[in-house]
Amino acid sequence: MLETRIVTLLTDYGLRDSYVGALKGAMLSIAPHLMIIDVGHTIAHQDVIEAAYTLKGYYREFPKGTIHLAVVDPGVGGPRRPILAETRNHFFIGPDNGIFSYVYQQEQVSQVIHLTA
């Protein structure tokens, strides 16, 4: 059996429709061992700075190995690929749009990988 992995979820999707549920359903269909923690879904629409600041405020409170998924992107649907940034204790997945800028200031990043399908 696979080890449970914590994934935090920060989006600008809001709570009035099915987007958050669809994302979580897709994640659990692929990896049912995930423990998904909803940090927030009410970031102002496409406000990367607010998302970066919010992420800065909570990520260190989670255990080593936590995956932090942040989905706030004014260029969604464009050619920009998502990234995986790895630090000593955490993993960060999201758009390559500055959303992890505070993390980069506070942590030593061991690698950044552009993700493909």
Domain ranges of the chain: 5-114
Confidence of residue 97 (pLDDT cuts 50, 70, 90): very high
The per-residue pLDDT for range 62-90, each reduced to its tens digit, is 999 999 999 998 877 777 789 999 999 99
pTM for the complete prediction? 0.94
**Fold designation for 5-114:** Rossmann fold (3.40.50)
Confidence of residue 104 (pLDDT cuts 50, 70, 90): very high
Write out the two tokens for 55. 């992420």
The per-residue pLDDT for range 8-46, each reduced to its tens digit, is 999 999 999 999 999 999 999 999 999 999 999 999 999
DSSP 67: E
Please state, as a whole number, how many other Cβ atoms lie within 10 Å of the Cβ of residue 87: 18
